[in-house]
Amino acid sequence: MGISRNDIRHWMLCLGTLLILSTSVMAQGDLLIFPKRIVFENGKKAQVINLSNMGKDTATYNISFVQIRMNENGTFDNITSPDSGQLFADTFLRFFPRTVTLAPNESQVVKIQLTRTDKLTQGEYRSHLYFRAVPRAMAASRNQIQKDTSSISVHLVPVFGITIATIVRIGESTTKVSLSNVSLEQKSNQAPTVHMDFTRTGNMSVYGDIVVTYISPKGKSTQVGEIRGIAVYTPGTLRRCNMELKQIDGIDYSTGKLKITYSAQADARGITLAEAELELPSLTGIK
């Protein structure tokens, strides 16, 4: 049985779309989402997400749940079955609407509700809400498809998406996190980079901000680095992180020390989750 030219066109279009889905591409319209993560705990059963189109074009987004694994280097893999010790949240959540169309500078609320709470057991459940852009029709481009039947025309359409963690927590947290293997790497003509490992134990994820402070031999403190929103998701126990430090006049990274602080964000009262110090110079780090 032969393969028709239409079959080839369809296969190449699907392949192109899959390739684009695996890369980072620009959205049609800039979607602003607040908050950046949703956590159901302490009896909370309903929450809202605010969506705003900051772009110049009308944009449509389909909303669904996806499941994600976090790797040790902070990257993500899409999965369909939970890893050992991982619990998905989507079967206990419902949301509305499932499709949103926003004109430029327009906003809308998505409502999320926790359901079937009698089926929940102790621990943390996590899924990720996926906001997938629906590409605008490109009628003009389609009208320009070559009429030469001896050639194959492929129309690639970029697909853009944003995910945010949606977490359900039942029971008391036993989670702790520590910083280890801290070291400083300095290469000529490059910003110094501090390396660190996060080790998580317990039943729930951790999420917070990293601040690196340089302390001179005379005791003067200067903030030289910050990353907001660093997570270590269950069931993972290790995350490796690299951060470039600011090059500021008067700061000599060959002396003094670095203080690394990992703290919960302001909505969690800024509680310090973990700290470490690194005496300089050091290329081997501390344990």
Q: Which amino acid is at 200?
A: R
Instruction: Write the CA distances from 123 to 126, 155, 171, 235, 245, integer angstroms.
Output: 10, 46, 6, 11, 36
Per-residue pLDDT of the chain (287 residues; tens, 9 = 90+): 444 444 434 433 333 333 333 332 333 358 999 999 999 999 999 999 999 999 898 999 999 999 999 999 999 999 999 999 999 999 999 999 999 999 999 999 999 999 999 999 999 999 999 999 988 764 334 444 445 555 565 555 566 789 999 999 999 999 999 999 999 998 888 899 999 999 999 999 999 999 999 999 999 999 999 999 999 999 999 999 999 999 999 899 999 999 999 999 866 566 999 999 999 986 544 44
CA–CA gap between residue 129 and residue 126 (Å, rounded):
10
Write down the pLDDT at residue 265: 81
Write down the pLDDT at residue 28: 38
Write down the pLDDT at residue 118: 94
Write down the pLDDT at residue 187: 85
Write down the pLDDT at residue 155: 55
Contacts (Cβ under 8 Å, ≥6 apart) of 155:
13, 138, 141, 142, 145
Q: All domains of the chain, ordered by start, with CATH?
A: 5-170 (2.60.40.10), 176-279 (2.60.40.10)
Write down the pLDDT at residue 51: 96
Write down the pLDDT at residue 135: 82
Structure tokens at 1: 């049985």
